[in-house]
């Protein structure tokens, strides 16, 4: 059946393109003016009051942890360590006594003490079972004594490659584990609250309520510490027929067999789940002082941790050989440079640059961005990071490096393909929030602001390209779209930030969504 959807306007990452979309069952036939498209004699005409935009693409989030967070314990709004302990005690009372107590989104930058909890703090929550809290960046854990004992971590345990065990004056672990040191905990302690299949489907519906029609889901597989469930891959394939939005998966693994298994399982799944490739890490986070920097941080005598290894490069090559993509996390300028080194070599030997992604690209410089542009790979960025880091970013980096931090204008001016995302559970998954942050930058380095059209492009065309999808709302593409109460190409950042999504369509069908359900928990 042919449907002509007519709104106040149709706007895309290419600007205003008319006021109507002609849909034939699941696909877009054409976009233009309602007068022109009426000549195609549609079977029905549906008129809406809002502005029609392509469905939003969140090119990088963590779907299963997001589902778990909605039903679990978030510590982001805790005011001090005592509040952290109180919240954890309350949550622990709801967790089976044979299970670890695991919470997410702890933030040492917002509690009064300006530190993460120690094992002594967390021993007050429980002394007879593990308590594990994750910093909101996901790159640092703080655990209690029971967790350290269960993992066999003590004063003589060496720091692993790419990680650090924080220690007190006596050499004993404080309970804070950075980067790969978290892997010492083992899978039984690094699982967040089990996300039941129904929770994942519910979480996907909530994302759809934000106008999101496609996500790039980073998923744990095998023995990787990022796996929330025993097998995120198997859980996603089981719920695939019930997911309302497209889910492109990147397996977080450095094991070739695990990568092949993830591809085999997902390729065989029904529904809207697809295998896209592999995800690796080259460094940590700015908030945790573990991002790999060319020069030390201004507020701590460390240059972070470079994690990129030959094993990572090998699994990237393997993903490409399987016909997939490769996404490598790089936040610090040293890490971004190291990943560009790898990608330059791959492209020089015939790799398709459109299959390569650098995740985050938080800190750069003119030379790095010139190289980035020359190699032609995707930059998958998170504008909403600006909102969380506004208060401390200059103190950590200094004015010179701040100039090149989240430098979206500089990247766009160099024709670097930008894809917008949230990295949820790090930040809220609301694309309107992310677009607004890209536009006004929360006041930081105004010269790096982008326009409304450019912000929309990041979360539509740019995201689609980074997910191997066709250009949104182009003839023949899936009829995935959202209807807003605001025109993001003409509205101010605050108007977009306060805007609403009225409806979401996938494959030409309007989704039934309970928009009263929360999409975020602090």
**pLDDT at 276 > cutoff 70:** yes
**Which of the four CATH numbers 1.20.1250.20, 3.40.50.300, 3.10.310.70, 3.40.50.620 does domain 74-190 have?**
3.10.310.70
Topology match between the domains 58-62+193-467+474-506 and 74-190: no
Percent with pLDDT over 70 in the chain = 96
> What mean pLDDT comes out for the span 441-452?
98
The CATH superfamily assigned to 58-62+193-467+474-506 is Metal-dependent hydrolases (3.20.20.140)
**pLDDT at 143 > cutoff 60:** yes
> Considering the entire predicted model, what is its pTM?
0.94
- Among 350, 334, 321, 440, residue whose Cα is nearest residue 387: 440
Q: Between the ranges 127-136, 248-257, 410-419, where is the mean pLDDT highest?
A: 410-419
Looking at per-residue pLDDT, the higher value among 190 and 380 belongs to 380
- 522 and 76 in contact (C-beta within 8 Å)? yes
Please report how many Cα atoms fall inside a 13 Å half-sphere around the Cα of residue 308, on the Cβ side.
24
Burial class (CB in 10 A: 0-12, 13-18, 19+), 447: exposed
3-state secondary structure (DSSP) of residue 279: strand
- 8 and 487 in contact (C-beta within 8 Å)? yes
In the chain, count H helices and then E strands. 20, 21
> What mean pLDDT comes out for the span 276-296?
97
- 513 and 483 in contact (C-beta within 8 Å)? no
Per domain, the residue ranges of the chain are 2-49, 58-62+193-467+474-506, 74-190
CB atoms within 10 A of CB 196: 15
């Amino acid at each position: 059946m042919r449907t002509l959807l007519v709104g106040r306007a149709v706007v895309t990452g290419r600007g205003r393109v008319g006021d109507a979309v002609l849909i034939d069952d699941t696909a877009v036939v054409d976009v233009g003016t309602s007068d022109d498209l009426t000549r195609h004699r549609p079977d029905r005409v549906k008129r809406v009051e809002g502005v029609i935009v392509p469905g939003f693409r969140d090119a990088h989030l963590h779907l299963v942890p997001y589902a778990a967070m909605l039903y679990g314990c978030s510590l982001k709004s805790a005011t001090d360590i005592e509040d952290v302990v109180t919240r954890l005690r309350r949550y622990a009372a709801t967790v089976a006594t044979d299970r670890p107590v695991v919470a997410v989104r702890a933030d040492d930058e917002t509690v009064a003490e300006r530190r993460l909890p120690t094992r002594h703090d967390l021993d007050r929550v429980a002394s007879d079972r593990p308590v594990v809290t994750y910093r909101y960046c996901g790159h640092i854990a703080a655990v209690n004594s029971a967790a350290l004992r269960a993992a066999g971590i003590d004063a003589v345990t060496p720091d692993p490659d790419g990680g650090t065990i924080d220690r007190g004056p006596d050499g004993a672990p404080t309970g804070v584990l950075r980067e790969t040191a978290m892997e010492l905990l083992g899978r039984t302690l690094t699982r967040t609250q089990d996300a039941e299949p129904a929770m994942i489907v519910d979480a996907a519906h909530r994302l759809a309520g934000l106008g999101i029609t496609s996500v790039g889901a980073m998923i744990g597989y095998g023995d990787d510490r990022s796996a929330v469930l025993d097998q995120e891959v198997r859980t996603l394939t089981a719920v695939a027929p019930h997911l309302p939005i497209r889910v492109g998966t990147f397996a977080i693994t450095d094991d070739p067999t695990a990568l092949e298994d993830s591809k085999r399982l997902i390729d065989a799944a029904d529904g809207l789940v697809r295998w896209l490739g592999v995800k690796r890490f080259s460094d940590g986070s700015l908030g945790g002082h573990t991002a790999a920097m060319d020069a030390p941080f201004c507020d701590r005598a460390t240059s972070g941790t470079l994690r990129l290894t030959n094993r990572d490069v090998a699994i990237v090559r393997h993903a490409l050989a399987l016909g997939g993509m490769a996404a490598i996390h790089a936040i610090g300028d040293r890490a971004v440079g190291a990943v560009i080194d790898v990608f330059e070599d791959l492209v020089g030997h015939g790799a398709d640059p459109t299959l390569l992604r650098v995740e985050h690209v938080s800190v750069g410089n003119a030379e790095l961005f010139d190289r980035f542009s020359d190699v032609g790979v995707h930059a998958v960025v998170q504008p909403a990071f600006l909102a969380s880091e506004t208060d401390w970013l200059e103190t950590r980096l200094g004015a010179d490096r701040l100039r090149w931090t989240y430098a979206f204008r500089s990247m766009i001016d160099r024709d670097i393909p930008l894809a917008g995302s949230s990295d949820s559970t790090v930040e809220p998954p609301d694309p309107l929030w992310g677009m607004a942050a890209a536009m006004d930058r929360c006041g930081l380095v105004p010269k790096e602001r982008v326009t409304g059209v450019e912000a929309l492009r990041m979360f539509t065309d740019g995201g689609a390209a980074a997910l191997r999808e066709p250009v949104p709302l182009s003839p023949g593409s899936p009829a995935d779209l959202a209807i807003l109460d605001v025109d993001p190409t003409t509205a101010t950042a605050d108007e977009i930030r306060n805007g609403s999504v009225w409806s979401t369509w996938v494959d030409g069908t309007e989704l039934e969504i309970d928009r009263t359900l929360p999409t975020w928990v602090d």
